[in-house]
A and B are shown apart, each in its own frame.
Chain A
């Protein structure tokens, strides 16, 4: 592309809040861990 396209540079350094992302990731992670151990102990109980 030879034409100059207007560049938008957003400062994402320390301004972006990752608190919500952390909360969401930990929630999904907790769901995964709980369901994994739930099924694992079900398996063990059926042995």
Chain B
């Protein structure tokens, strides 16, 4: 099979770019832990209100400016509502659904995950900048889907970064 010189060039280029992309993503996921929010943790979706820690959703401090935020998603809201944390806080979200598939997204950040009944979704994010962030449901869940949202307020001095 005869390959033209130009064909060799673009095959090398295309193949090389693919290898580069896969290498970067592999380093990210295996060496730096950038993985999807599911750790295959399961829960009985009919018993969410009785299963710890979702029987008592809320913010818990687990370290120096480190928090665990246990939340439930349901038709059509989240519990808890209106969360406040200090700037620079590292928050681990642990979310499950009490009924149907919901979304959990904070626009402008990398927080974006599907909340599937029967599973617990976990994701960690550091809120460096103070302000008000919207937690939005971005997975159609019914007639009130468009109003399903809550807020997370990051308190801190303006311009102060930790």
**A and B assemble together:** yes
Chain A residues packing against B (C-beta within 8 Å): 13, 18-19, 21-22, 25-26, 29, 32-33, 36, 40, 43, 46-47
Question: Interface size (B, Cβ < 8 Å)?
Answer: 16
Q: Is the interface of B mostly helix, strand, loop or mixed?
A: helix
Residues of B contacting A19 with CB < 8 Å? 6
A22 touches B9 (CB 8 A): yes
Q: Is the interface of A mostly helix, strand, loop or mixed?
A: helix
A21–B7 CA distance with the chains assembled, in angstroms: 9
B30, CB-defined interface residue at 8 Å: no
A26–B56 CA distance with the chains assembled, in angstroms: 56
Q: Kindly identify, within residues 25 to 75 of chain B, every residue whose CB is under 8 Å from any CB belonging to chain A.
A: none
Residues of B contacting A46 with CB < 8 Å? 108-110
